[in-house]
Amino acid sequence: MASATAAGKGTGRRSLNMVLFYVFVVIFVFVSVFPLLWVFKMSIVTKTELFATPPTILPQDLSGESWSKVLGDSTFQRALINSSIISGVTTVICLFFGSIAAYAIARMRFRFKGTVMTLILAISFFPGVAIIAPLFIQFTAVGIIDTYAAVIITDTVFALPLTIWLLVAFFRELPVDLEDAAKIDGATTIQAFQKVIVPLAAPGVFTTAILTFIFAWNEFLFANTFLFDESTQPVTVVIPNFATIYTVDYGAQAAASVVVTVPLVIMVLIFQRRIVSGLTAGAVKG
């Protein structure tokens, strides 16, 4: 009788824990998604409803004016191309140099390796605003202000440490025997790295590429400081320009924000399994 009572309490406790877990998940998802849904709601309502007090929770009067303004704006269209170029080039550069550096750190034995890794990571925590003025002076002297190069260089500097840290973890988990076997077959160290290590570390490389791309896509500080011409500005700089001295078109800014955010969300949802497998690689020793 006592054992049956204890079993019933254990089952009830597990059921309660399961209910609390799902309640927590629902609340967490709602809090995470609500800002995006609210911005989308701002982009599809009329200006009258947008400024209504108190604000409406669900859209009442739908309007496509904000979307027409954003999608028909040639400056915004060009900004999307600029962001794609800056983010894409930054990602390629970070993967190229980051994979080589991470492979060397993961495989080579040298003193102060931990110190080197700490210094690399410290760059990511360095406040970018502290070096804005010196960089502006240097970039002006070499003539790359208002060019893609100014932002790509700074984005690469701050994204490369994250790239190296992620890839080091993946390369460390790959057995050295695979490289030794490739070298026995006549491959050089570079060939073994290119044809054996990189393909096997594909989940990690893919995850790193997505995170680096998102970082460069969302960057605002350096782009707003070094790029003045609309022909080179990314979307993060152009979106605030949907405003005048006297008014701010919040509906257009909301629509532009959705256009910029949704592709990243879709990309993450499509490749979420590969991203999770990449982020959890090396977490458990086999």
Report d(CA 181, CA 156) in Å as an integer. Answer: 34
Report d(CA 252, CA 238) in Å as an integer. Answer: 11
pLDDT under 70 in the chain at which residues? Answer: 1-12, 272-286
Assess whether the previous peptide bond of 54 is cis (omega < 30° from 0): yes
List the chain domain ranges.
2-50, 65-280
Report d(CA 278, CA 266) in Å as an integer. Answer: 18
Identify whether the C-beta of residue 211 lies closer than 8 Å to the C-beta of residue 165.
no
Question: 210-236 pLDDT, tens per residue?
Answer: 889 989 999 999 999 999 888 899 999
What integer pLDDT is reported at residue 7 of this predicted model? 55
- Could you give the C-alpha distances from 75 to 82, 89, 247, in angstroms and in order? 10, 21, 19
User: What CATH number belongs to 65-280?
Assistant: 1.10.3720.10
What integer pLDDT is reported at residue 174 of this predicted model? 77
Identify whether the C-beta of residue 145 lies closer than 8 Å to the C-beta of residue 139.
yes
Report d(CA 139, CA 161) in Å as an integer. Answer: 22
Hey, what are 241's tokens? 């320009």
Hey, what are 277's tokens? 């497998």
What integer pLDDT is reported at residue 278 of this predicted model? 56
Burial 224-238 (b: 16+ CB within 10 A, else e): bbbbeeeebbbbbbb
What integer pLDDT is reported at residue 171 of this predicted model? 81
Q: Which residues contact 257 (CB under 8 A, 6 or more apart)?
A: 39, 43, 239
Secondary structure (3-state) at 130? helix
Report d(CA 188, CA 22) in Å as an integer. Answer: 52
What integer pLDDT is reported at residue 275 of this predicted model? 65
Identify whether the C-beta of residue 73 lies closer than 8 Å to the C-beta of residue 142.
no
**CB atoms near residue 164 (< 10 Å):** 28
Q: pTM of the entire structure? A: 0.82
What integer pLDDT is reported at residue 286 of this predicted model? 43
Report d(CA 79, CA 237) in Å as an integer. Answer: 8
Burial 61-88 (b: 16+ CB within 10 A, else e): eebebbbebbeebeebebbbebbeebbe
What integer pLDDT is reported at residue 87 of this predicted model? 93
